[in-house]
């Protein structure tokens, strides 16, 4: 287990630079097209925002594949969920709608759903995914659990609760110290307290 490399996302490290978005285009299975989503999310009452990258989480039981009426989405032996098979995909967007993480992208100009495949062209030959290679802040990271333990901090989680749906993923995220799966809809957030009022507008001088 410890020899197997894992993909880790630590959203709190993201600086929104888009190196991952730019690098994803360089991945051989979808050159010229980026599969990464980079979102801005609310970050406390001040109105400031945090950027957050999303790669495919590679669910153990992938919702995208379960809802596909054409059986076009396949998971390989390592648990990597791949882009829809071109001969099968009917471009219905069921997967786009159903994915709890919002990962699949419908490429309407070619009528094909494409998504992050964990850089199979690279990881299958022992290299690292492009995004996790270049990420300047190590918000996206790839390596063994031992390497993670030696250089990084924070508990890793791969269980998520989306309302009534429990999801387990191949990709890990760095959690805060609260035990248990990440309740995505809870809005739990512990920003530094200055962030409520970054410029001290309400604070007595």
Partner 1 sequence: MARLPLPDDALIDRYGPHRNDAPPDGWQAVEVFDRQVKTHCCFCGQQCGIILNVADDKVVGFEPRYDFPFNEGKLCPKGVKRYLQDNHPDRLLDPLVRTDAGFAPTTWDDALDRTVGELRRIQAAHGPDAVAVYGGASLTTEKAYLLGKLARLGLGTRHIDYNGRLCMVSAGVGYKKAFGVDRAPNPWSDIRETDVVFVIGANVAECAPITTSYIWRARDHGAKLIVADPRVTPIARTADMFLGLRPGTDSALLSAMLHHVVARGMVDHDFVAAHTEGFEAAIEAVEQQTPTWAAAITGVPAARIEEAAEMWGSAATGMLLHARGLEHQSKGVVNVSAAINLALASGRIGKPGCGPNMITGQGNGQGGREHGQKCDQLPGGRNLADPQHRAEVSAVWGCDPDDLPAPGYSAYEIMEAIERGEIKGLLSICFNPLISLPDTARTRAALEKLEHFTVIDFFLSESARHADVVLAGSLHEEDEGVVASAEGRVVKINAAVPPPGNARSDTEIIVDIGRRLGAERYFPFETNREVFEELRRASAGGVVDYAGISWERLEAEDGIFWPCPSEDHPGTPRLFEDLTFPTPSGRARFVPTPWRPPAEETDHDYPTWFTTGRVVSQYLSGEQTRRIGKLVDQYPEPLCEIHPRFAEFLGVTSGDVVRVTSRRGSIELPARVTATIRPDTVFIPYHWGGRKAANQLTNPVLDPESKIPEYKVCAVRVERVRAGGPVTDERDVSVTTPSDGSGAADPPDATGARSTAEAAGSEQSPPDGGMSGDPGDASAPEEEPRA
Contact set with partner 1 (CB under 8 A):
12-19, 21-23, 25-26, 28-29, 31-34, 37-40, 43, 46-51, 93, 96-99, 102, 104-109, 128, 130, 133-138, 151-154, 191-192, 194-195, 198-201, 203-205
Question: Which is nearer to partner 1, 112 or 182 (by Cβ)?
Answer: 112
Residue 60: count of CB within 10 angstroms of its CB: 14
Alpha-carbon distances, residue 40 vs 10, 33, 85, 155, 189 (angstroms):
15, 21, 31, 23, 15
- Beta carbon of residue 126, minimum distance to partner 1 (angstroms, whole number): 11
- Beta carbon of residue 6, minimum distance to partner 1 (angstroms, whole number): 17
User: CA–CA separation, 100 vs 160, rounded Å?
Assistant: 10
Alpha-carbon distances, residue 188 vs 37, 44, 160, 175 (angstroms):
22, 11, 13, 11
- Beta carbon of residue 149, minimum distance to partner 1 (angstroms, whole number): 11
- Beta carbon of residue 32, minimum distance to partner 1 (angstroms, whole number): 3
Identify whether the C-beta of residue 53 lies closer than 8 Å to the C-beta of residue 9: yes
| CB half-sphere exposure, 95, CA atoms < 13 A | 30
Question: Which is nearer to partner 1, 29 or 60 (by Cβ)?
Answer: 29
């Amino acid at each position: 287990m410890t020899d197997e490399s894992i993909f880790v996302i630590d959203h709190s490290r993201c600086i929104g630079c888009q190196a991952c978005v730019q690098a994803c285009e360089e991945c051989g299975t979808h050159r010229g097209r980026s599969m990464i989503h980079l979102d801005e999310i609310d970050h406390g009452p001040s109105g400031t925002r945090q950027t957050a990258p999303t790669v495919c989480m590679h669910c153990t039981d992938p919702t995208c594949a379960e809802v596909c009426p054409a059986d076009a989405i396949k998971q390989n032996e390592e648990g990597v969920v791949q882009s829809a098979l071109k001969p099968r995909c009917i471009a219905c967007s069921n997967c786009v709608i159903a994915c709890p993480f919002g990962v699949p992208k419908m490429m309407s100009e070619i009528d094909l759903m494409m998504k992050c495949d964990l850089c199979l062209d690279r990881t299958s030959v022992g290299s690292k995914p492009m995004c996790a290679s270049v990420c300047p802040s190590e918000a996206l990271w790839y390596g063994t659990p031992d390497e993670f333990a030696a250089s990084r901090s924070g508990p890793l989680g791969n269980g998520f609760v989306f309302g009534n749906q429990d999801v387990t993923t191949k990709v890990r995220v760095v959690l805060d110290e609260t035990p248990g799966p990440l309740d995505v809809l809870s809005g739990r957030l512990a920003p530094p307290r200055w962030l409520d009022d970054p410029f001290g507008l309400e604070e007595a001088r």
